[in-house]
Homo-oligomer: A and B are copies of this chain.
Amino acid sequence: MITALAGGVGAARFLTGLTQLIKQEDLTVIVNTGDDIDLFGLHISPDIDIVTYTLASIINDEKGWGIKDDTFNCLNMLKLFSEVDWFNLGDRDFATSILRTNMLKNGATLSQISAKVSRDLGLKLKILPMTDDKFATYVQIPGDSIHFEEYMVKRAAKDPVLDVKFVGAETAKPAEGVIDAIMDSDRVIICPSNPIVSIGTILSIQGVRDALRKTRAKKVAVSPIVAGAPIKGPADKLLNGLGVEVSAFGVAKLYVDFLDGFVIDSMDAAEKSRIEGLGVKVAVVNTLMKDLASKVALAKIVLDL
């Protein structure tokens, strides 16, 4: 049994490789819900949808989010009504959020909804939201505190980051199955996702960090930072804002209390001994996932380390 902690695009691409090597039935993915946001009166779960669509092979690969060949007629009409004009959601994608919102209204949990959506899309793995409770990542920028999606999408991650707040972290309980998945796995993989707003959120949920320390599972992470910069997204600004070194070493330090192995990119080979100095085993490989073969190769390293 394998459990993976995941954010959005980077994690989803990594998991595409992993699911070539292990049976979906043996995989549980715990997904960040700090990006979840209510827009147009609909509950949108960006990372859950990205992971689900990617593994169901319906993702828009170019964009990394949304459904391939989707249309945007609903959104364009909403723009005509002067609704939120900065968030993009395709017509098929709207369906997922309409379903989610309706099921939430009728008392279902995010976990139940994620299970239904992934099952209906033909998946056999378990996709678990990190929590079924309210949780939202807010970014403190000069003069304002804004939702992560607003920081990321509306303002294109241009603002300097002063701080990051996890609203709800103090009370949010792990979704059913989250702690068990960590405790009962042979291996827990921390995907190459943003260590603050994707993995950091999951780690902030009550009992998760503790379970990672206690489980007998091997815990292996893939560095999302290569040559001092994130492959995708604003991790550098967020890490900088929090005073964390923007390097594989900086990320390793965030996970050091539970991490057994760390896969870093060849370009960061020089950091190997520093990270090993933290007591973490290190594999140095090419971590760029440019095609399915490289995703599978990377997954193999992670399974073997």
A198 contacts the other chain (CB 8 A): no
Which B residues touch A105, using CB under 8 A?
Answer: 41
Which of A75, A77, A92 has the most chain B CB atoms closer than 10 A to its own CB? A77
Please tell me how many copies of the chain the complex holds. Answer: 2
A101 to B102, CA, bound (A): 11
Asked if A305 lies at the interface with its beta carbon under 8 angstroms from chain B, I say no
Question: Nearest-CB distance from A241 to chain B (Å)?
Answer: 33
Do A83 and B71 touch across chains, with their CB atoms under 8 A apart? no
Would you list which residues of chain A between 78 and 117 have a CB under 8 Å from chain B?
A: 78, 80-83, 90-92, 94-96, 98-99, 101-102, 105-106, 116-117
A61 within 8 A of B: no
Chain A interface bracket (under 10, 10 to 19, 20 to 34, 35 or more)? 20 to 34
A81 touches B116 (CB 8 A): yes
* Residues on B with beta carbons closer than 8 Å to the beta carbon of A81: 95-96, 99, 116-117, 120
With contact pairs A82-B120, A120-B82 given, residues A77 and B96 touching in the complex (Cβ less than 8 Å): yes
Q: Which residues of B contact A42 (CB under 8 A)?
A: 98, 102
Which A residues form the contact surface with B (CB < 8 A)? 40-42, 67, 70-71, 73-78, 80-83, 90-92, 94-96, 98-99, 101-102, 105-106, 116-117, 120-121
